[in-house]
Structure 1
Amino acid sequence: MATNQEIVQLQREEHAGGGELAVRDYADPAPEPFLGASELRRRSLYRAVIAEFVATLLFLYVTVATVIGHKRQDADVDDGEACGGVGFLGITWAFGGMIFLLVYCTAGVSGGHVNPAVTFGLLVARKVTLLRAALYVAAQCLGAVCGAGLVRALNSAHFARHGGGGANVVGDGYFKGSGLAAEVAGTFVLVYTVFSATDAKCSARDSHIPVLAPLPIGFAVFVVHLAIIPITGKGINPARSFGTAVVYNQPNAWHDQWIFW
């Protein structure tokens, strides 16, 4: 198999304005096979699926617990206690910070998707196979259910009382069309950031970008939260919306579920 230097050498092309040769300083990876049935023989596939399951479980556990803790402490303030919750900004930091950590930890194992929307985008771009994408989405959804279920098991008295830890529904005063538009825009920002942060051209121009890729991805989640939490509770991750809906299991969470997919 050719080395990266050999690939760059093979990608020399004639400069449009003269006879000099301009060397591309990056190498685009070859498209993945569409089905990818041969991956079933690779141990790395199963390790990656497990990584996606664990990462999504941890993401739901920390973020849903943060939402419940915030709402519980706010209720205590109303009852005369002195300390409030982490607040709206604290919740956005919990979501963005967890994505940063989880992408950093799992990028070398599974690519650090932690989101069916990201997986689907990479499938369309032929960066993952259909088999891998299907297993990732299944693992992410199962991990989300387990993560939300773990929060409910440890906070059973407060889970239902405080809205299932932020189960995604369209907010009061907003139309379903507004919720759908907010989710489309927010998901675009996230997936666009993922593609930009992991682009081969970026890594060629600045060797620090691959190391820092989890940072803009986590920050994208953070800023999107600031914009659309009041509208939909902020989904942009179908597994996160599905996991909380399954464990919360209330009609209002299921009525709007289609928006987040």
Structure 2
Amino acid sequence: MWRATLTELVATACLLFTLTTSIISCLESTTAEPKFLIPFAIFVIAFFFLLTTVPLSGGYMSPVFTFIAALEGVITPVRALFYVSAQCVGSIVAYLVIKSVIDKNAEEKYSLGGCMIDGNGEGISPTNAFILEFSCTFIVLFVGVTVAFDKRRCQEIGLQMVCGILAGAMALAFFVSISVTGRAGYAGVGLNPARCLGPLLLKGGRLWYGHWVFWVGPFVACIVYYGFTLTLPTGTSTS
């Protein structure tokens, strides 16, 4: 278990470093509509990281996926606790590296790439952010996890397709969140509380506002999704 836990730590750190720097690069590009580039970047990065880590540790790299895996009985609660701890440490490591290399103007402009719902009154309310966080997380679980936790279907379509479905669901959810709001102060759904934790601890400031949304929303979505899977027809349940 300690090897898998270490893998989760390293994988989460590398994923968040790559993902955050890529998103900031997209936003800083001269492209008129960077919001179309970001989902594509998320898809590519998530796909390759999932493809690499799924055979090693399960490729969770997020407390959300770890929590739903524990609910579904895919991993034990003890293993889940170790994984979540490793993912949070990995996030801190990733953003320590980013903070040491990022341009200071970009750091201030994007709050170190953290999860933000209000930029000096320009963002959205915590209630609306919670609704988006819950809805988008549920979409990812319904589209991606339903397939990923179905062993028979995974064998039928193969690891590459499963990783592609998961990565595509995450990219789609993020695109939806930034498309329907159109607010400069809103950074989009977190989908990964560990991603929100690192910048919060290192940068703080306005990132504290509504931070609970990025934890409560996904975990409530996991609980609702788990209840939903219990109603699925025999043979299609993820349990």
Q: Same fold (TM over 0.5)?
A: yes
User: 1:137/1:89 Cα in 2 relative to 1: closer, same or farther (>3 Å)?
Assistant: same
- How do 1:72-91 residues align onto structure 2 when only pairs under 5 Å count? 72-73=28-29, 83-84=30-31, 87-91=34-38
Residue pair 2:8, 2:87 contacting (<8 A) in 1 also: yes
Q: State which drifts further: 195-204 or 115-124.
A: 195-204
Could you tell me the TM-score, scaled by structure 1's length?
A: 0.72
Matched, 1:247 2:238: no
Say which structure, 1 or 2, has more relative contact order (CA 8 Å, 6+ apart): 2
Task: Tell me how far 1:71 sits from its aligned partner.
Answer: 4.0
Structure with higher helix content = 2
Counterparts in 2 of 1:143 and 1:195: CA distance versus 1, 3 Å:
same
Query: 1:134 and 2:81 equivalent?
Result: yes
Aligned-partner residue type, residue 253 of structure 1: L
TM-score using structure 2 length: 0.78
Aligned counterpart in structure 2 of residue 217 of structure 1, from 142, 163, 166 = 166
Query: Structure 1 84/110 Cα, relative in aligned 2: closer, same or farther at 3 Å?
Result: same
State yes or no: 1:125 paired with 2:72.
yes
Question: Which has the higher Rg, Structure 1 or Structure 2?
Answer: 1
Corresponding letter in the other structure for 2:165? P
How much does 1:85 deviate?
8.2
Q: What does 1:103-252 align with in structure 2 at a 5 Å threshold?
A: 103-171=50-118, 172=122, 174-192=124-142, 193-203=144-154, 206=156, 208-229=157-178, 230=181, 231-250=186-205, 252=206
Gaps of 5+ in 1: 1-44, 74-82
Please state how far the C-alpha of 1:238 moved relative to its aligned partner: 0.5
Once superposed, what is the RMSD of the aligned Cα atoms? 2.0
Whether 1:56 and 2:12 are equivalent positions in the alignment is yes
Structure 2 CA distance for aligned equivalents of residues 215 and 242 of structure 1: 26
**SS in structure 2 of the partner of residue 126 of structure 1:** coil
- State the 1:97 CA deviation: 1.9
User: Percent identity at matched positions?
Assistant: 23
Matched position secondary structure for 1:213 = helix
Task: State the distance in 2 between where 1:259 and 1:232 align.
Answer: 13
Does the 8 Å CA contact 1:152/1:159 hold for their aligned counterparts? no
Q: Which runs of 5+ in 2 are unaligned?
A: 216-239
Question: Which deviations, in whole Å up to 9, do the C-alpha atoms of 1:175-218 show, x marking residues without a partner?
Answer: 211100100111112223123233023145x2x33342110000
Q: How many residue pairs get matched?
A: 205
- Output one character per residue of 1:126-146: Cα deviation in whole Å (capped at 9) or x when no partner: 111111101100111111111
Give the AA of the match of 2:209: H
Q: Quick one: which amino acid aligns to residue 92 of structure 1? A: P
Q: In structure 2, what residue type is equivalent to 1:238? A: P
Q: How does 1:8-87 map onto structure 2 within 5 Å?
A: 45-73=1-29, 83-84=30-31, 87=34
In structure 2, relative to structure 1, the CA distance for the partners of 1:203 and 1:56 (3 Å cut) is closer
